[in-house]
């Protein structure tokens, strides 16, 4: 990732990305921190534009999901969110935030966050390719090791017919 484009290191953004409902998401509190605005300001802007945030862009965390985050030490406690249920934004939701939050910092941070999501997607693709190559190698070498094992087994077996002794 080109550091010229990032306001903060990609690792900082990566640490804030969670997987909820089988989606990679960023919580409103983390986005507000990255954008340099208060969480209530971010939520207010989203509420004013709810038609731009369908459920595949943004969803409200359930109590069970909150408990899961607390139990996995992602957040210290439910009170971390100040009593309000947090919003979780998918990659598409983060992209849509740039049309709601107009500050220069928000737009620049959006670019950094989107680049991080893209990098994550590329890592996942590379991981799948690597896994496939390993599986192919395993299948190839399993056959070769099977041949070696058979040859060793053959060499270790005692002769089937007794030999005649030569000499006395």
Q: Give a yes or no: residue 166 inside a domain.
A: no
Hey, which residues does 89 pair with through a beta bridge? Answer: 26, 58
pTM above 0.95, yes or no: no
The torsion angle over the Cα atoms of residues 63, 69, 70 and 76, rounded to 10 degrees, is -120
Q: Give a yes or no: residue 139 inside a domain.
A: no
Q: Give a yes or no: residue 28 inside a domain.
A: yes
DSSP letter at 26 equals E
2 dihedral zone (left: phi>0; alpha: psi -120 to 50; beta): beta
Residue position matching structure tokens 């406690």: 77
Q: Give a yes or no: residue 140 inside a domain.
A: no
Hey, which residues does 19 pair with through a beta bridge? Answer: 24
- Give the span between the Cα atoms of 144 and 150, in whole angstroms: 10
Q: Give a yes or no: residue 161 inside a domain.
A: no
pLDDT of 80: 67
Helical H segments across the chain, by residue range? 10-16, 28-35, 39-48, 63-71, 91-100, 104-156
Q: Give a yes or no: residue 145 inside a domain.
A: no
What's the burial of 129, exposed, middle or buried (CB within 10 Å: 0-12/13-18/19+)?
exposed
Give the range with max mean pLDDT: 31-40, 132-141, 155-164: 31-40
Report the chain's C-alpha Rg in angstroms: 28
Q: Give a yes or no: residue 155 inside a domain.
A: no
Whether residue 139 is predicted with pLDDT greater than 70 in this model: the reply is yes
Count of structural domains, the chain? 1
Residue position matching structure tokens 């056959």: 143
pLDDT in tens, 45-84: 999 999 999 999 999 999 888 888 878 766 766 666 677 8
Q: Give a yes or no: residue 162 inside a domain.
A: no
98 phi and psi angles, rounded to 5 deg: -65, -25
Whether residue 18 is predicted with pLDDT greater than 80 in this model: the reply is yes
Structure tokens at 93: 């939701």
DSSP letter at 3 equals G
Domain that holds residue 95: 3-125
pLDDT in tens, 152-165: 777 777 767 766 77
- Give the span between the Cα atoms of 162 and 47, in whole angstroms: 91
């Amino acid at each position: 990732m080109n550091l010229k484009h990032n306001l903060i290191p990609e690792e900082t953004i990566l640490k804030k990305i969670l997987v909820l409902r089988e989606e990679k998401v960023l919580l409103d509190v983390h986005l507000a921190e990255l954008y340099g605005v208060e969480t209530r300001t971010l939520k207010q802007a989203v509420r004013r534009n709810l038609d731009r945030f369908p459920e595949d862009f943004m969803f409200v965390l359930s109590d069970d999901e909150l408990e899961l985050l607390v139990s996995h030490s992602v957040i210290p406690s439910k009170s971390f969110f100040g009593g309000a249920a947090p919003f979780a934004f998918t990659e598409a939701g983060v992209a849509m935030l740039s049309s709601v939050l107009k500050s220069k910092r928000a737009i620049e941070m959006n670019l950094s966050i989107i680049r991080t999501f893209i990098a994550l997607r590329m890592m996942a693709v590379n991981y799948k390719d690597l896994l496939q190559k390993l599986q192919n190698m395993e299948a190839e070498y399993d056959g070769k090791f099977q041949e070696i094992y058979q040859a060793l087994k053959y060499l270790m077996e005692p002769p089937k017919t007794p030999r005649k002794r030569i000499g006395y």
